[in-house]
Amino acid sequence: MFWRSNPDNADESQSGNSEWPRNGSLLTGAVHERQDMKWLEVSQWKQAGKDEWISKCTGIWMPFEQGGLLLHSV
């Protein structure tokens, strides 16, 4: 899955997104419910199989669903 832009402001700059999150990655951030979708505004994340958290993320978003569930609560 690849990072998405802010659904309300596609021109917002992104940081902390040098890689795409693989299955099993951990993402934290703020949940935003829109009329049509639920989104996670990512504040930090850890790639699957890695120990290091990538912090200071801005402008990177992930939908909770896309043709099926993408994000799972842990």
Is residue 1 domain-resident? yes
For residue 74, give both structure tokens.
Answer: 């842990």
Q: What is the pLDDT along the chain (74 residues), one digit of tens a residue?
A: 789 999 999 999 999 998 999 999 999 999 999 888 999 999 999 999 999 999 989 999 999 999 899 998 88
Mode of pairing for the β-strands spanning 61-63 and 38-46 = antiparallel
Query: What's the total number of domains in the chain?
Result: 1
Domain limits for position 31:
1-66
Q: Global pTM?
A: 0.90
Q: Is residue 7 part of a domain?
A: yes
The two structure tokens encoding residue 2: 């690849």
Give the angle 2-11-63 at the CA atoms, nearest 5°.
35
Cβ atoms of 8 and 30 closer than 8 Å: no
Q: Is residue 72 included in any domain, yes or no?
A: no
